[in-house]
């Protein structure tokens, strides 16, 4: 099993290129990030080339404070598509594999229709690039009012789109907070998965404590035949290097 460091949460005390180098030194197999746009892409690409780590993905912009995305906001299509274009362009320059299209604070049929049309727009712009677009349900306790709330809602959207390069970002933390029984939800949705992320429940710390037993989760993921890196997206209350006992333990369990 392989793991990706989400540099939106880990090594945030360092510039992004140095965080990539730190993830490599710590033994991660890949990296991902949130909003890298203030960093020249050439610097990020250089760090990726130096370490050999793939960049799994990045996010579209959140918009104004409190919006948490633009893609499901009726009347904001021009801004949402500019954010998609920005993310796609940056991803191309650094070789990122996916873009998480953030929906924003919205509800109702108009929001759903807007989200679908913006996702179709994204796919139309990148039909020959191999780029994947991800959608992610966020739990209501952490992200009240976010348009995409459950995996069933996300699955219905993916079914309506029927586009092979739009997939589900399954964050075990958010799913556990909203729906529970993460192993069962993984199994039910494995045909929709584009990326999997992990963190402890309920405190979103390192995945080595709390209500969700990640030994069981990892076993279920392995049984599904998942081979891509799993994203570590957790809050590090201590320096990141001091929170990686879970990673070393996972490596030991894999050793013959």
Which of 25, 67, 93, 136 does the annotation list as catalytic?
A: 136
Token pair of 232 as six digits: 């570590």
Residue bearing tokens 């081979």: 227
Which of 32, 67, 107, 233 does the annotation list as catalytic?
A: 233
- Whether residue 78 contacts residue 70, with contact meaning beta carbons closer than 8 Å, is answered with no
> Phi/psi at 35 (nearest 5 deg)?
-130, 90
Q: Would residue 233 show up in a list of annotated catalytic residues for this protein?
A: yes
- Whether residue 193 contacts residue 226, with contact meaning beta carbons closer than 8 Å, is answered with yes
Q: Report the relative pairing of strands 57-59 and 3-6 from DSSP bridges.
A: unpaired
Q: Rounded to the nearest 10 degrees, how much is the dihedral formed by the CA atoms of 77, 171, 64, 157?
A: 20
Token pair of 32 as six digits: 């991902």
Q: Would residue 136 show up in a list of annotated catalytic residues for this protein?
A: yes
Q: Rounded CA gap, 205 and 201, in Å?
A: 8
Catalytic residue set: 136, 233
């Amino acid at each position: 099993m392989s793991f990706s460091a989400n540099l939106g949460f880990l090594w945030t005390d360092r510039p992004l290129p140095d965080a990539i180098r730190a993830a490599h030194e710590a033994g991660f197999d890949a990296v991902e990030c949130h909003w890298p746009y203030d960093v020249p892409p050439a610097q990020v690409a250089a760090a990726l080339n130096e370490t050999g780590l793939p960049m799994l993905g990045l996010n579209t912009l959140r918009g104004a404070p409190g919006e948490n995305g633009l893609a499901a906001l009726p009347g904001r299509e021009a801004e949402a598509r500019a954010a998609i274009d920005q993310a796609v362009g940056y991803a191309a320059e650094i070789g990122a594999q996916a873009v998480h299209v953030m929906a924003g604070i919205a509800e109702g049929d108009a929001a759903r229709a807007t989200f679908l049309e913006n996702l179709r727009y994204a796919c139309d712009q990148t039909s020959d690039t191999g780029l994947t677009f991800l959608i992610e349900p966020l739990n209501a306790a952490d992200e009240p009012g976010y348009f995409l709330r459950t995996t069933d809602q996300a699955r219905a959207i993916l079914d309506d789109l029927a586009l092979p390069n739009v997939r589900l970002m399954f964050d075990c933390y958010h799913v556990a907070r909203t729906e529970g029984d993460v192993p069962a939800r993984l199994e039910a949705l494995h045909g929709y998965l584009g990326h999997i992320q992990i963190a402890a429940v309920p405190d979103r710390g390192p995945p080595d404590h709390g209500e969700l037993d990640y030994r069981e989760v990892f076993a279920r993921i392995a049984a599904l035949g998942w081979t891509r890196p799993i994203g570590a997206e957790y809050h590090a209350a201590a320096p990141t290097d001091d929170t990686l006992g879970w990673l070393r333990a996972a490596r030991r369990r894999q050793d013959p």
